[in-house]
Amino acid sequence: MVTSQDVARLAGVSQATVSRVLQGSARVSPETRERVLSAMKQAGYHPNAAARAMRTRRAGTIGVVVADITNPFYPQLLEAVSDELGRAGQRMTLWNATGPSEAGALEAIREGAVDGLLFTTVTEMSKPLEEALQRNEPVVLLHRGLDHIGCDQVTADNVAGGRLAARYLVRAGHERIGFLRGPQSASTALHRERGFRETLDELGHSLAPELVRPGDFSHDTARAAMRELLDRPQPPSAVFCANDLTALGAVDGAISLGVRVPEDVWVVGYDDIAMAAWEAYGLTTVRQPITDMARMAVRMLIERIEDRTLPARRREFPAELVIRRSTAHTPAS
């Protein structure tokens, strides 16, 4: 392996001079600097990452925590995060919070192995978040936010999205509306539910408790919950789902019972993941601009790393209803 000693020999300078060039010191003449840089190139010298991190106090790496990488929402988010970090010359260390690895994010903050953290999955009880904020480390919350926490946050307007879904279903004439909830620790699930419930109440179509089922943003739980709803003596004529993965599970639950979507039951999702548009599902859903949100969050985090004294910023993106085949027909009822 080529060392800074080899570079010094090749350039005919001391090793201390090579170090000064690497540190960008002003105590090196332009000629010497040029000679050292060309010796580095000639020798194929790449400064050690750990040595540079010690010198610059920067790891050159961002930590990203996702809730469940097998939920197709997160890979879409990660693709945009990865592209934006690549453009900024930053690496991405990833934690998948469903696994035993979330404790790793906490350790990485403590040790300075990452310069900042992007949490896409935050809950009230998130220990890594709590510690990162106590230490005034650069943190941006993406997708899921926390109302009472003063840190950078990039979210979509999930309350407005829930309202859109409620108005759409009531205006289409649905009387028996079902709801498949998300995990009650996620702000996205809570806000979507709040907007949905409030608007149904306002329009005089309050949710019947027996048509509401708990959920965990997983396909299998949603599929089972949908089968329960459809097996009732009076099944719902439309079901709103707290995210698209839940809605895909709901459609599959209907198919498994021979119940037709949308002829027998409408299904509405939330997120507009790529798969929602695929013909087999053709899911009506509330879109959030996943890629734009991810890019904004990365840029905010990089700014925050440069300047920790910036005031906390919040960006909220609008929600939009996208109508597809899973609701396009007029229901029989």
Interacting residue with its own copies among 23, 29, 38, 101 (CB under 8 A): 101
The stretch among 26-34, 96-104, 143-151, 187-195 that binds its own copies (CB under 8 A) is 96-104
Interacting residue with its own copies among 3, 23, 42, 70 (CB under 8 A): 70
Interacting residue with its own copies among 259, 281, 286, 287 (CB under 8 A): 281
Interacting residue with its own copies among 255, 305, 321, 322 (CB under 8 A): 255
Task: Determine if 328 is a binding residue for its own copies (CB under 8 A).
Answer: no
Task: Determine if 295 is a binding residue for its own copies (CB under 8 A).
Answer: no
Torsion 36-40-45-51 (CA) sign: positive
Task: Determine if 107 is a binding residue for its own copies (CB under 8 A).
Answer: yes
Task: Determine if 50 is a binding residue for its own copies (CB under 8 A).
Answer: yes
Going by C-alpha positions, the residue among 229, 163, 243, 221 that lies closest to residue 196 is 163
The stretch among 26-34, 140-148, 234-242, 279-287 that binds its own copies (CB under 8 A) is 279-287
Q: What backbone torsions phi and psi does residue 328 show, to the nearest 5 degrees?
A: -70, -25
Residues that bind its own copies (CB under 8 A): 1, 46-54, 59-61, 69-70, 72, 74-76, 78-79, 82-83, 85-87, 89, 91-96, 98-101, 104, 107-108, 110-113, 135, 219, 248, 251-253, 255-256, 274, 278-281
